[in-house]
A and B are shown apart, each in its own frame.
Chain A
C-alpha cells in the first residue's frame, strides 16, 4: 500500500490505541496532511474516557466532550479506522515501517450494518458487559456503548461451537433450542418462554406432547443421552401463566382469512396471521377446538386445561372460532371464498384405514381414532376385559394405554419387530410398564364374532424379508403359523386419511394418497385456497402440523399482499459429530446422563387419566439444561436470531479474520494502561464484600449510562449509601505490591467521584477520603480539592487504611486506620471505594518486545530525556499513560506533541497519501421555486415499529412544495444515499428533508450526499422522528405518528425558505509567530521550522533560554544547560527561524491565517510589522518574590533557584553547611495563590539529593504540606528518605515560624514547626533556609491577553479553550499557548506542550485556505444601532462595531455560529444564517397552526 515518495518516507502514520490519545494524534496528523491508520483492539474507539461519568476539575460530562471527537475521527476522510484489530508486528525503520495487523472478524458487515440495534433483542446470550466493568450484562451481539464509533455491531464468538445445533435444524419450525436451553440454565425462565413463543404458537402443547425430533438429533446424544428438550420446554411453559400474558398490540389491516379446522395447523396459522393484523375465523366441525390435540391425544398425556389455555391465548389475539360448523355441511367452501381474502384448509386426517380382513365390521371392532375421540368427548364405552390393539404407531400405543386405564388386559399386535415400531420408545416403555403385552411379528387374519360381537381373533406369525419402499424390512407371513387369541374388543390403529368431499366439489386437486395436493408454499390449485397439515401430508406429528400452519400463514400473507410466494420445501441436513469431535467433547464434558423425569407409578396411573409425567423441578430443569453442550460456552452459538432480525442482512457467521500489512512512515503508540487489581490486597476486602468497589466501578455506578442510570446505589442491596470511604494509593506508592510509583491521577479522580457522588445521592451522604498526601498538582486541581473540603463537605483523613472488614450482616463495612496522632480508629461505612492505580499495559509489553521498544523498570514505555514522546526506536512515538500514569489533558498534549514530532519527521512526504474529496459543480437554484424531497426513515422497526411511516410519508407528499416523498428501511444506508441522489436528479429537487434520527450524528452525511448531487449542502433540513417520536412515545403509536407529522411539517416549512450558504474561504499566511524564547517557545519554533514553515521567534529579554537558564540539572540527573545550549544553537542556526531578542509586541491585527503583529525592538527604537498565520504564546513564568520567612532580610534564606545556583557555583557556605532546612509551598496553595506550583517538591528533593551527594552527613529537613512527587518522581522521594533527608509535615493553619535568635555574637536562624506525629514543637537552627517559592505568571500575560483577545485565569496564567481536550488551543482560532505561560510544569512537560502547540498550529498552516462556517451571524445594517452589545457577548471576538460605519460587522472567518449575538441584539439586526427569524416563524406556525 502507499506509494513511496518524499525521500523514501511514507506519508502515512499508524496510530495504535483508540483512546483519547490515539484519537487526538490521529486527528492532528490527518489535519496536517498525513494518512492515518487508527488501530484499536476493542470494537469502538474512545478508550477509558467513554466509561467516565464526569471529568475533573470542571465536572464536564466525559462522553459529551468526547463524542464529537469520536464522530470527527470516524468521519475523517484521511483516518482509516481499524477497530476490533490488533497490531501483530512492526518491521522497518523510521520513515518506512510495515505493520502487520489482524482485523478480527466482527461477523457483522460494517458496510451494511446501520446500527439500528434490532439484532440485540433476539440474542439470547447474556455476557459480562466490559463497558460497565461487569456490573451489568450485554448480549453476545453488541456495541460497547451507545455512541460507539463505528456504530457497527459485533458478535462475541469466543470459541468454536461444540455441537452442530442439530436440534434447531431438526425442529420443523426451527426453534432456537440452544437459546432457550441456555436461558433455562441461567434460570431466566420468562426470557426462555418469550424466546420459545417467538417461534412457537403452541409452546405448552409442544412441551407436553411433541415427539421432539430435536431430541433425536441432539448431538449430546452422541456422548451420552440427548437433552430432554421437550421436558425442558414443558418446564418453562409450566412456570408461565398464559392467562396473565399480555397480548401484543396489533394494528388491524382489515383483511379477513378463513381457516378450516382448529387443529395444530389451523391454530398456528391463525396465531401468526392474527399477529400480522388479519381478522381470522376458524371453522371447526367438532364441538370444541383443538382437533387431534383434543380428540386424538389422551388426557394423561395432554391435560385439557393446558390446551384450553393455549387456545384462549390465540383467541385473545382476535381469532374467532366457530365450532360445530362443518364445511360441506353447515357452510360451503365457495361461500367462504366470497367473504374471505384467503382460505386455509387444515382439516386433518380423521378417517381410519381399514384392516381389510374378514369380520372387520363386527361389533367390538373399533378404530383407534374413533375410540380416542369418544373417550376424549367423555363417552362411556364398554370394551370388555380383553382388548387387542393392532398397529405399532403412537396411536396404537395411545389406544392401548387408554384401554388399560378402562380396566382391560391389553395386547398390542404388530406385524414387524420392536426395532421397526414407529411409536416413540418412551411411550412403548410406558405401555409395557403398565402391563400391556406387545406381540411382535404377528398379523391378524380374521376376526371371529359370536352373536355379531367380537370374541376371538385369528393371527399369523410373520418374519422379516427384504426392505420395502419405506426402508423397513417387509414382513412375510409364515404359512401354517396361525393361532387364535381371545378378544372382547379389537382396536385398529393402521393410520388415517383425510375426509375430502368438500374439497373435491370445489375442484381442489387430490393426490393419489387421498390427500390435498399443494405446491411447496402450500397453495392448492384453486386461487386463494391453501392447505396444510395432515390433510396434505397424511397423519403426522403435531409439530409438523404447526410448521405447516406457520408456513401457510406466511404464504397467505404474501398472497393477500400480492407478493410472490416465497416458501420452499425446508428439509435441512442434520449434522452429526464425527468420531474425532466426539472424543474431544467427551474429554471436555464428563458423562452425565439425562435427568430422569418423575412419573406416576404404573400401578397408580392405570387407575385413571391423571398425567403420567410429573415434570422437572426448578433445580432438575437447571441441571438438565446445563448438560447442553452449547450452554457451556461463553459467546454466540449462531442461533440465527440476530440474522432473522437484521433487515440490512449484515450478519455473516462465516466471516474470517483478515490480515493486512500497512506501510507507514511513523508509529504512535497510545494503548494506555491497565488498572491494578486490588483483589491481591485481600485485607481491603475487594471481591470479598460486594460493597467494596474500585474507582472505575464506582465511576460506572455514578454514570447516567451505568447500571443504575446514575442513581447512587450500593451493590449488596441496591440501597443508597449514606457514608462512603475512599481508600487512596491502592496499588500506588506501594513497593510491597510491586507498584512503587505514584499513579498521579487518583487523588483528583477520587475528589471528583466524591463530589459527583454527593451530587447524585438521593439521601444525605458523608464521604471520607483516606489519603497519605493529596496530590492535586495539576492546573486548577488544588482549588478543586479546597472546594471539595469547603463546599462539598468531604472529609479528608490523612491515613493509610489498614483493612476493610464486614461490619455485620447488613453489608456495611468497617475501616481500620491510625490517625496521624497515633490513635487507632475504626469507622463504619456503607460502601468503600478503592482508588486503584495504573499499571503498565500488558498488551503493549508483548508487542514492544517483538518490535524492540524498551520499557522502563516499571514496565511502562521508556522515553528519552527531553524527548518525552520518543521511544527507544526511531520513528516510533508514544503518548499518554503508556509511558507514565497521566491524566487526560497531559495525554492530549502528548498526542498532539507526538503528531508535531511526526509532522517534522515526515515533512517531505506530507500530503502524498491523503485523499481529497471532489464534488460536482454546485447547481444554481436561485429563482427556482422550492421543490422539496422528503425522505422518511423506518430505521428497521426502530421508527417504523411505532410511527406509522407510510402515513407520515403520505402526509409529507401532500404538503405544498413537496415534489417527492419516499420512505426507506434505512435512510442512512449506502444504497439510500444513491436513491436520494437519483431522486434529486429525477424530480429536480432543490431542497431535501430527511426525517430520521439525530442531526448530531447524521446531518453531515446527508449534507455530503446532496452536495454530491450538486446541491449546496445547506439546502438540507432534518427532523428527528426517532428520538423525539418513536423512542419517547413508544407506547402511544398514534400520538407518535401525529408528532412525526408535525415535525416533518415544520422541517418542510423551514425547507421552503432555506437558501444556499457559502462559507468564506480565507487564504492562509504560512508563517508562524512564537512569543517567548524559553524552552517552550524555542521548541515550538523549531518543531514548526522543521516542518518547513517560517517562524518568527520573539523574546523580550536579550537572550534565549528563559527560566531554564537558571536550571542546571534536573531530578533525573540530566544536564539542562547542555540541552539548552543545543536547543538555542538549533534555533539560532535554523534557516526558517528568525529570532528577535529585546523585542516587545506593540499591537496585533487580524485573525486566524492573517495576523499582523507590530513589534518594537531595542526598547522603542525599531518598529516592524510581521505578517503571520498563527501565534504561539510561550511567555513563561517566574519565581514569586516572597517576603515570608526572612527572605531578603537574612542572607541565609534563599529560593530553590538561588540555592541551585549556589550549589553549582560551589559556594562553600552552602555545600559545607551542617543543617539545611527547606520550606515548601511558600506562596503557593494559599488564599492569595490557591494553586500548586507543581515543580517545587521535585526541585527541593533534587537540590537536597545534590547536597547529600556533596556532603552526605549534612542534615536536611524538608518541611512540606503534601509531598507531590507524582508519577515516577516518587522514586526520588524514596531516594531522599533513604539518604537520610528528614521530611516534616506542617499545616497551612500552623505554618513554620522562622526567626533570628541571638546566641552570643551570632544570630541563629531558628525554624520552628509543630510535628503532628510527635504532637510536639520542633526547633531547628538552620545554617541555610531554602524556600520553595511559588511560580507566578509573567507580567507579559495580561498585555498579550488584551492584544490577542485571549482569556487569563484568576491565577494569571492563560486559559486554554478547554482544560481537558483543548489544552494548547484558545477559543480564538489560530492562537495557541504552551509552557509555563499555561501553568507551572516541568521542562519535559513544557517540551511536550510546545510540540503540541506546534502540531495544532501546523493543522492551520498546511491549508491553502481556511473555510469558515456556513451558519454564521449576519447584520442588517439598516436595523443596527451600533450599541455594541453583540461585541461584548461574542466569545470568539467575531463581531465588532465598525467605528466608521457605526454598525456591527461580523468577521466571517471567526464566527462559529453560536447565535449568542442574535439572542442579545435588542433591535433584531443580527440574524443567524440558516436559522433566520422567517425560517423559525415558519416552523412555529407549521407546528401551531398547521401547514
Chain B
C-alpha cells in the first residue's frame, strides 16, 4: 500500500500537540523504547506505540483515531518512565482518545465503559494489594503472586 502524504492531514501532529498530554509528540525520534517496554506489545504485536506516534507525525488522522489500538493501552506508564525524549506516550494516548470521542470516531458511551473498566481495575488492584498486605500481617507465607491469586479468589 502506498500512503500519499499530500492527501493526509499534516496538521494532525500539531493538533495532538495542542491537546493536554500530547505536547511532546513531535520530538519522538522513533527509537522504539516505548514499544520494547510495553506490556501490551508483549502480548499483542498489533499494539505498537512507536508506530502510532509515527502515524500521527505523518498526518494519518483518520487511521489513528478510528483505530481500536489506541484503546489497548493500559496506562501503566512504563513507556513514559523509559522514553529518553520524554515523549509521554501514555498521555498521548489519552489525548488521542479524547480526540477520537470529540471527532466522533467512538461513542461517548464507549468512553464511559472504558472509564468504568479503568475504575474497576483500579479498585481491584487496590483491594488485591490490601488483601495481600492483610494476609501477610496475619502471618500468611509464600510468594506475593500466590497470595494475590488467593486474594483475587476471595474477592
Binding site for B on A (CB under 8 A): 683, 729, 733-737, 772, 799-803, 816-820, 822-824, 1219, 1259, 1261, 1267, 1277-1278, 1281-1284, 1286-1287, 1289, 1312, 1315, 1317-1318, 1320-1325
Given contacts A734-B84, A772-B29, A802-B82, contact A1261 B45 (CB under 8 A): no
B35 x A1284 contact (CB < 8 A): no
Known pairs A818-B32, A1320-B3; list 8 more (Cβ under 8 Å): A734-B84, A799-B32, A822-B41, A1282-B26, A1286-B58, A1315-B58, A1318-B3, A1324-B5
A-B contact pairs, 5 of them (CB 8 A): A800-B32, A800-B36, A818-B50, A1318-B51, A1323-B4
A1219 near B6: Cβ-Cβ < 8 Å: yes
Q: Which residues of chain A have C-beta atoms less than 8 A from B134's C-beta? A: none
Q: Is the CB of A1318 within 8 A of B2?
A: no
Chain B residues with CB under 8 Å of A823's CB are 45
- Is B54 an interface position by the 8 A CB rule? yes
**CB distance A1284 to B31 under 8 Å?**
no
Interfacial residues of chain B within 1-16, with CB under 8 A of chain A in the complex? 1-6, 10, 13-14
Task: Give every chain A residue within 8 A of B41 (Cβ-Cβ).
Answer: 818, 822, 824
Q: How far is the CB of B64 from chain A (nearest CB, A)?
A: 12
Q: Are B45 and A1323 in contact (CB under 8 A)?
A: no
From A683, A799, A822, give the contact of B51 (CB < 8 A).
A822
Q: Which residues of A contact B29 (CB under 8 A)?
A: 733, 772, 1267, 1277-1278, 1281, 1287
Report the minimal beta-carbon distance from A219 to chain B, rounded to whole angstroms: 50
Contacts of A1286 in B (CB 8 A): 57-58
Contact A818 B26 (CB under 8 A): no
Which residues of chain A have C-beta atoms less than 8 A from B26's C-beta? 1281-1284
By a CB distance below 8 angstroms, the chain A residues around B3 are: 1315, 1318, 1320-1323
Q: How far is the CA of A822 from the CA of B38 in the complex (A)?
A: 11
> When chains A and B are docked, how far (Å) is the Cα of A1312 from the Cα of B27?
24
Query: Which among B13, B33, B84, B86 has the greatest number of chain A C-beta atoms within 10 A?
Result: B84
Given contacts A799-B31, A818-B50, is CB(A824)–CB(B45) below 8 Å?
A: yes
Contact A818 B35 (CB under 8 A): yes
Q: Kindly report which residue of chain B lies nearest to residue A1317, judged by CB atoms.
A: B54
Docked pose: A122 CA to B47 CA in angstroms: 65
**B residues within 8 A CB of A817?**
32, 36
Q: How far is the CA of A816 from the CA of B36 in the complex (A)?
A: 7
Known: A817-B36, A824-B42. A736 touches B86 (CB 8 A): yes
Nearest chain B residue, comparing its CB with the CB of A772: B31
Q: Is the CB of B58 within 8 A of A1281?
A: no
Which A residues are in CB contact (< 8 Å) with B85?
Answer: 735-736, 1278
B36 pairs with A1317, CB closer than 8 A: no
Set B30, B45, B82, B83: member contacting A1317, Cβ < 8 A = B30
9 nearest A-B residue pairs (beta carbon): A802-B36, A822-B48, A818-B35, A800-B31, A818-B36, A818-B32, A734-B84, A1321-B2, A1317-B54
Q: How far is the CA of A1259 from the CA of B9 in the complex (A)?
A: 11
With A800-B36, A816-B36, A1320-B1 in contact, is A822–B50 under 8 Å at CB? yes
Flag whether B152 is at the interface (Cβ < 8 A). Answer: no
Known: A735-B86, A772-B29, A1322-B58. A1317 touches B2 (CB 8 A): no
CB of B55 closer than 8 Å to a CB of A: yes
Q: Is B37 an interface residue (CB 8 A)?
A: yes
Give bound CA distance, A1287 to B31, whole Å.
12
Does B28 sit within 8 A of A, measured CB to CB?
yes
Residues of A within 8 A of B30 (CB): 1287, 1289, 1317
| B35 contacts across to A, CB distance below 8 A | 818, 822, 824
**Assembled-state Cα–Cα distance A1323/B4 (Å):** 5
Known A800-B33, A1284-B14; judge A1278-B84 contact (CB<8 A): no
B36→A799 contact, CB < 8 A: yes
In the complex, what's the smallest C-beta–C-beta distance from B119 to chain A, in angstroms?
A: 29
Q: How far is the CB of B1 from chain A (nearest CB, A)?
A: 5
A1323 touches B2 (CB 8 A): yes
A802/B5 in contact, CB under 8 A: no
Chain A nearest CB, measured from B51 CB (Å): 6
How close is B132's CB to chain A, nearest CB, in angstroms? 24
Interface of B with A (CB < 8 Å)?
1-6, 10, 13-14, 26-33, 35-38, 41-42, 45, 48, 50-51, 54-55, 57-58, 82-86
Tell whether, in the assembled complex, residue B54 and residue A802 are in contact, meaning their CB atoms are under 8 Å apart: no
Q: A802 CA to B35 CA in the complex, in Å?
A: 9
**Taking the nearest CB of chain B, how far is it from the CB of A837, in angstroms?**
12
Which of A735, A1317, A1322 is close to B50, meaning CB atoms less than 8 Å apart?
A: A1317
Cα-based distance from A141 to B138 in the complex (angstroms): 59
Tell me whether A1324 and B6 are in contact in the complex, defined as CB-CB below 8 angstroms, given that A818-B50, A822-B50 are known contacts: yes
Among B1, B32, B37, B45, contact of A1321 (Cβ-Cβ < 8 Å): B1
A1325 touches B6 (CB 8 A): yes
CA distance A1372 to B28 in the complex (A): 50
B6 to A, closest residue via Cβ: A1325
Max chain A C-beta neighbours (<10 A), residue from B1, B2, B33, B83 = B33
Contact A737 B36 (CB under 8 A): no
Contact A1278:B31 (CB < 8 A) given known A824-B36, A1312-B2, A1322-B3: no
Task: For residue A429, give the distance in angstroms from its CB to the closest CB of chain B.
Answer: 49
A824 to B55, CA, bound (A): 19
Q: How far is the CA of A820 from the CA of B14 in the complex (A)?
A: 25
Q: How far is the CA of A1267 from the CA of B54 in the complex (A)?
A: 17
Q: Which residues of B contact A734 (CB under 8 A)?
A: 84
CB proximity of A580 to chain B, nearest CB, Å: 51
A815 nearest CB neighbor, chain B only:
B36
Q: How far is the CA of A1318 from the CA of B1 in the complex (A)?
A: 10
Report B106 CB to chain A, min CB distance, Å. 23
When distances are taken between beta carbons in the complex, the residues of chain B under 8 Å from A824 are: 35-36, 38, 41-42, 45
B32 / chain A contacts, CB cutoff of 8 Å = 799-800, 817-820, 822
Residue from A683, A823, A1281 whose CB has the most chain B CB atoms within 10 Å: A1281
How far apart sit A1219 and B51, CA to CA, in the bound complex (Å)? 23
* B27 close to A1281 (CB less than 8 A): yes
CB-nearest residue of chain A relative to B28? A1281
When distances are taken between beta carbons in the complex, the residues of chain B under 8 Å from A1320 are 1-3
Instruction: Report B29 CB to chain A, min CB distance, Å.
Output: 7
A1259 to chain B: which residues have CB within 8 Å? 5, 10
Partner of B5, one of A801, A1317, A1323: A1323
Closest to B11 in A: A1257
- Among A818, A1267, A1278, A1312, chain B packs the most CB atoms within 10 A around the CB of A818
Between B28, B31, B42, the greatest number of chain A beta carbons within 10 A of the residue's beta carbon is seen for B31
Highest count of chain B CB atoms <10 Å: which of A736, A772, A822: A822
Chain A nearest Cβ from B37, distance in angstroms: 5
Q: Closest CB-CB distance, B53 to chain A, in whole Å?
A: 9
Kindly name the residue among B28, B42, B57 whose own CB sees the greatest number of chain A CB atoms within 10 A.
Answer: B57
Residue of A nearest to B82 (CB): A802
Whole-angstrom distance between the alpha carbons of A503 and B14 in the complex?
111
Shortest C-beta distance, B87 to chain A (Å), equals 10
Write the nearest CB–CB distance from B33 to chain A, whole angstroms: 5
A815 to chain B, nearest CB (A): 10
Does the CB pair A822–B86 fall under 8 Å?
no
In whole angstroms, what is the CA distance A1317 to B29 when docked? 12
Q: Is the CB of A1282 within 8 A of B27?
A: yes
Q: Give the distance in Å from the alpha carbon of A1282 to the alpha carbon of B86 in the complex.
A: 12
Which residue on A lies nearest to B58, using beta carbons? Answer: A1286
Which chain B residues border A1317 with CB–CB below 8 Å? 30, 50-51, 54
Complex alpha-carbon distance, A208 and B126, angstroms: 66
Bound Cα distance A802, B83 (Å): 10
Q: A737-B84, A1278-B27, A1323-B5 are in contact. Are A818 and B33 (CB under 8 A)?
A: yes
CA distance A737 to B30 in the complex (A): 18
Known pairs A799-B32, A802-B36, A824-B35; A736 contacts B54 (CB<8 A): no
Quick one: given A735-B85, A800-B84, A1282-B27, are A1318 and B36 in contact (CB under 8 Å)? Answer: no
Whose C-beta in chain A lies nearest to the C-beta of B42?
A824
Give A457 Cβ to nearest chain B Cβ, in Å.
72
A1283→B10 CA distance, assembly (Å): 13
